[in-house]
Amino acid sequence: MIQRVSCLHNLVQSLRLGSLSQLGSYICYSSQAASSLQQVSKACADGENEYANLDWDNLGFGIMPADYMYTTKCSKDGSFEQGRLSRYGNVELSPSAGVLNYGQGLYEGTKAYRKEDGRLLLFRPDQNAIRMRMGADRLCMPCPSIDQFVDAVKGVALANKRWVPPPGKGTLYIRPLLMGSGPVLGLAPAPEYTFLVYASPVGNYFKEGLAPLSVYIEEEFHRASRGGAGGVKSITNYAPVLKAIARAKSRGFSDVLYLDSVNKNYLEEVSSCNIFLVKGNVISTPAANGTILQGVTRRSVIEIARDHGYQVEERAIAVDELVDADEVFCTGTAVGVAPVGSITYQNRRVEYKIRAESLTQELYSTLEGIKTGLIEDKKGWIIEI
């Protein structure tokens, strides 16, 4: 406890002196760290209106590294040491690191939002922490506690406050990574692990902005298979879809929708987000049965929809059902709630009418309102720093 307070005292002093650029203090996290973060927030008060020199009106979804990242390490059978905030920069890895040789790694994604009064909000980071623990178990890795994960995200958001876009201009995307950083030659878990968190300000994920997406159904390639790691956020799930995405985008599509690898008939998910169909008062989404990622936004949208009186079904959805759907939309941390304007399958294009008062728009407005503090959070989803 004395060490934790001492470390945070050093951080606060650095902030008070305006010496963020020289920040090298260790931040020791525990379940009682919230009060310490409040001290840091007070120390930042004088600079809370300061912004990084960016064109906030034209943010895309590309890497613009914020000032600071968080790192901590752990031995194979130990626990993660106290974390360190340092300047964003390259990390040193052995050529035989488990993550480089065998893909032993996970990532998460969450966002920080700025309110009109300058305060920062996080949306359900504990759910990202829980999902990372599930993935770590699947990939035989130790994992930070939920408290350490959440407090690391808080620390990164706070240290990079000037990179959080003004309200309505974007968000600070926060990327936690867990990887086998220790050297290993034979196929086995790495002897050491690194947990790091970095951040970047972002705008809309798709170049279309908030315009409806044009999606292509992929038949040759599959995102995941039964018994694999499609249900966790393993880094190995993403490089294999790059070829399909590149091919679709070269044909003018926004993204790719994948079918199940067994029957090649049931919807799974889009490259980086979940998919929903609307028919009347019923909303359907593929069941998370091990090949589909249990998205935090997906779960939140399901809860909001049920609160609004809609029936939500998590089930197997045949590709033919797309023809009769009233609306189709995608959900994810990066994309939010994005309407789908058309889906192309076997040279047949199905188009969906986009209405101003659509269910997709209703869910989008409600979710974004909660995230940004414009709608009262009655579920305890928001963490205010």
Catalytic residue among 154, 233, 249, 371: 233
CB atoms within 10 A of CB 240: 12
| CB-based contact 313:283 (threshold 8 Å) | yes
Q: Exposed e or buried b for every residue in 101-115, given b needs 16+ CB within 10 A?
A: bbbbbbbbbbbbbbe
Residue 267 main-chain phi, psi, to 5 deg: -65, 140
Cα–Cα nearest to 192, from 93, 86, 103:
93
As a whole number of angstroms, the distance between CA 191 and CA 98 comes to: 9
**Both tokens assigned to 127:** 């759910």
Distance CA 171, CA 201 (A): 6
d(CA 138, CA 366): 34
Closest C-alpha to 301, from 96, 73, 127, 115? 127
The Cα 169–Cα 140 span in angstroms is 39
User: Hey, which residues does 193 pair with through a beta bridge?
Assistant: 74, 180
Would you say 288 and 314 are in contact if contact means Cβ atoms under 8 Å apart?
yes
- Looking at 78-124, list the stretches that DSSP marks H as alpha helix, in order from N- to C-terminal side: 98-102
| 161 belongs to the catalytic site | no
**Is-contact 224 237, C-beta < 8 A?**
yes
Q: Which residues are catalytic?
A: 233
